[in-house]
């Protein structure tokens, strides 16, 4: 046996898993269609500079970065947003707004491999560009709910926060951006003591620390009550008050839309990526303690990439983790698999006929495999049985003279001679 293995953190999707992955991808694509998001396909390799610009330490240090043969510093994308922002700042800059973009594909981060954490993983990504209105944020929440619901997940919760609330405090305290980002990252990792120490060292007021301490305690499912408490807590910080109002407006719109997503507001919630400016979101199921998706509003990113000021909000859904959650919740995939057929030539001279019949059936929309191992009929039938194929068609010389074949129902163990022109009709009839 060969000793080759997949590289640490990389994995293979065998047919069963590949099927679920593509199923989720198809649901994401359907959601994009339903909400008017147009798909774009961007490269896996981008310039290191672009990807590193606003990624945040966490992601920046884990990039697969290298020099290509042309001496360019490049990296495998760790997220989609920089590529989307690059397009919006350049090629798409004159598009009428808003534009809604969807992408799906693989991403690369040198994370420590563990359950639900891989070095190559997959996301579906939705972004609305050009609107700073709360209805755009509400839409991102609603489509996330639609996607989670459509893949069959239950009991998922959307964790909601607003970086504007924290940033408002830091701005008024005149904290520099670097420290602010460091504090946010520490808060993201719930290392509150370290975060507060840094805030103190940066010369922030006592009130700042007490406000932050109050905020990290404010969390729960009664989102409108918590919003009120947040407003009280930050009343001395003007920008933060505006942020709380924005948050309230978004939550109200989600509520008014009739979307029943379970939301948990967490006032001390921060996210690792530096570019967020408004609402931030993460999605969880009780069976896993890692997020199935994350996103938020980032109003300044496009400008940072040299584009026109373009407010934006988006979310990425981790397909690998959605799959894991579906497996944990024993979700069965909708849509019964179509009945499939194995075509077996009775002897070598009939191989061409077997291929011809197979094609005829495929053109009628039936899933067909042809016996390609040169096995005897009995062996080929055994194999078809083992792989749970529904029908076998045995192409024999005698029947063929009458333009017919033997059709064997492998589940019922019945067989009949049938005219070739009638096979598709018969199989489809049996399926319905």
**CA-CA distance, 163 to 186, in Å (whole number)?**
14
Residue 237 or 298 having the CB closest to ligand AMP: 298
101 beta partners: 38, 127
Residue 2 or 6 having the CB closest to ligand AMP: 6
Given the rule CB under 6 A, which of 69-77, 109-117, 255-263, 338-346 is the region that contacts ligand AMP?
109-117
Residue 79 or 353 having the CB closest to ligand AMP: 79
Size of interface with ligand AMP, in residues (CB under 6 A): 16
Q: Is 127 in the site for ligand AMP (CB under 6 A)?
A: no
Q: Is 118 in the site for ligand AMP (CB under 6 A)?
A: yes
Tokens of 39: 């798909």
Residue with tokens 């492998």: 410
Binding positions for ligand AMP, 318-347, rule CB under 6 A: 318, 320-321
Residue choice 23, 37, 121, 391 for contact with ligand AMP (CB under 6 A): 121
Least Cβ distance, residue 125 to ligand AMP (angstroms): 9
For 168-285, where are the E strands, in sequence order?
Answer: 219-220, 262-266, 279-284
Tokens of 154: 């239950």
Residue choice 31, 83, 123, 124 for contact with ligand AMP (CB under 6 A): 123
Q: Is 77 in the site for ligand AMP (CB under 6 A)?
A: no
Q: Is 291 in the site for ligand AMP (CB under 6 A)?
A: yes
What letter does residue 399 receive in the DSSP assignment?
Answer: H
Q: Is 316 in the site for ligand AMP (CB under 6 A)?
A: yes
Q: Are 318 and 281 contacting, i.e. CB atoms less than 8 angstroms apart?
A: no
Interaction pattern, residues 248-287, with ligand AMP; x per rule: CB under 6 A? ----------------------------------------
Given the rule CB under 6 A, which of 117-125, 169-177, 216-224, 237-245 is the region that contacts ligand AMP?
117-125
Q: Are 393 and 341 contacting, i.e. CB atoms less than 8 angstroms apart?
A: yes
**CA-CA distance, 113 to 134, in Å (whole number)?**
37
Least Cβ distance, residue 202 to ligand AMP (angstroms): 26
CA atoms within 13 A on the CB side of 184: 30
Q: SS3 for 313?
A: strand
Least Cβ distance, residue 131 to ligand AMP (angstroms): 21
Q: Is 137 in the site for ligand AMP (CB under 6 A)?
A: no
Residue 75 or 343 having the CB closest to ligand AMP: 75
Q: Is 292 in the site for ligand AMP (CB under 6 A)?
A: yes
Residue choice 82, 134, 293, 307 for contact with ligand AMP (CB under 6 A): 293
Helices 223-233 + 238-257 axis angle, to 10: 170
343 beta partners: 370, 393
**CA-CA distance, 420 to 400, in Å (whole number)?**
9
Residue choice 79, 127, 139, 266 for contact with ligand AMP (CB under 6 A): 79
**Could you count the other beta carbons within 10 Å of the beta carbon of residue 165?**
28
Residue 80 or 170 having the CB closest to ligand AMP: 80
- CA distances to 303, 354, 377, 409 from 359, in Å: 54, 9, 20, 20
How many residues does the structure list for the chain? 432
Report which secondary-structure segment, H or E, holds 89. helix 81-89
Residue choice 25, 45, 48, 111 for contact with ligand AMP (CB under 6 A): 111
Q: Are 324 and 115 contacting, i.e. CB atoms less than 8 angstroms apart?
A: yes
Residue 314 or 396 having the CB closest to ligand AMP: 314
Helix (DSSP H) and strand (DSSP E) numbers for the chain: 17, 17
Least Cβ distance, residue 58 to ligand AMP (angstroms): 8
Given the rule CB under 6 A, which of 118-126, 229-237, 238-246, 378-386 is the region that contacts ligand AMP?
118-126
Given the rule CB under 6 A, which of 174-182, 249-257, 289-297, 385-393 is the region that contacts ligand AMP?
289-297
First vs last Cα of the chain: how many Å apart? 45
Least Cβ distance, residue 229 to ligand AMP (angstroms): 27
- CA distances to 30, 83, 260, 326 from 150, in Å: 9, 27, 14, 11
Given the rule CB under 6 A, which of 44-52, 240-248, 317-325, 395-403 is the region that contacts ligand AMP?
317-325
Residue with tokens 């983790």: 321
Interaction site with ligand AMP (CB under 6 A): 79, 109, 111, 116-118, 121, 123, 291-294, 316, 318, 320-321
């Amino acid at each position: 046996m060969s000793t080759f293995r997949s590289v640490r953190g990389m994995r293979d999707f065998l047919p069963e898993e590949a099927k679920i992955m593509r199923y989720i991808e198809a649901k994401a694509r359907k959601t994009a269609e339903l909400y008017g998001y147009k798909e774009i396909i961007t490269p896996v390799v981008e310039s290191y500079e672009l990807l590193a610009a606003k990624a945040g330490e966490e992601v920046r240090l884990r990039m697969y970065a290298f020099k290509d043969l042309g001496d360019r510093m490049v990296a495998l994308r760790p997220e989609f947003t920089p590529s989307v922002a690059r397009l919006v700042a350049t090629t798409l800059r004159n598009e009428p707004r808003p534009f809604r973009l969807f992408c799906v594909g693989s991403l690369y981060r040198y994370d420590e491999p563990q359950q639900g954490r891989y070095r190559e993983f997959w996301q579906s990504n939705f972004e609305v560009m050009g609107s700073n209105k709360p209805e755009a944020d509400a839409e991102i929440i609603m489509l996330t709910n639609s996607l989670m619901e459509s893949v069959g997940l239950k009991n998922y919760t959307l964790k909601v926060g607003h970086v504007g609330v924290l940033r408002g405090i830091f701005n008024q305290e005149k904290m520099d951006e670097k420290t602010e980002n460091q504090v946010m990252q520490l808060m993201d990792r719930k290392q509150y003591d370290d975060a507060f120490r840094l805030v103190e060292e940066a010369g922030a007021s006592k009130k700042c620390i007490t406000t932050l301490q109050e905020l990290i305690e404010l969390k729960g499912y009664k989102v409108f009550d918590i919003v009120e408490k947040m407003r009280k807590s930050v009343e001395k910080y003007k920008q933060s008050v505006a942020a709380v109002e924005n948050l309230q407006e978004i939550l109200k719109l989600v509520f008014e839309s009739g979307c029943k997503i379970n939301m948990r507001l967490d006032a001390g919630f921060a996210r690792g990526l530096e570019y967020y400016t408004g609402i931030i979101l993460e999605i969880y199921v009780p069976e896993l303690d890692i997020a199935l998706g994350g996103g938020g509003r980032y109003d300044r990113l496009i400008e940072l990439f040299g584009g026109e000021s373009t407010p934006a909000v988006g979310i990425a859904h981790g397909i690998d983790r959605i799959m894991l959650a579906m497996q944990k919740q024993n979700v069965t995939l909708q849509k019964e698999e179509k009945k499939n057929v194995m075509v077996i030539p009775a002897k070598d001279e009939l191989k061409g006929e077997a291929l011809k019949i197979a094609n005829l059936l495929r053109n009628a929309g039936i899933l067909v495999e042809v016996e390609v191992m040169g096995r005897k009929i009995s062996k080929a039938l055994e194999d078809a049985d083992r792989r749970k194929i529904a029908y076998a068609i045995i192409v024999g010389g005698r029947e063929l003279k009458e333009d017919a074949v033997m059709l064997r129902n492998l589940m019922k163990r019945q067989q009949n001679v049938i005219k070739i022109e009638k096979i598709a009709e018969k199989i489809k009839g049996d399926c319905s």
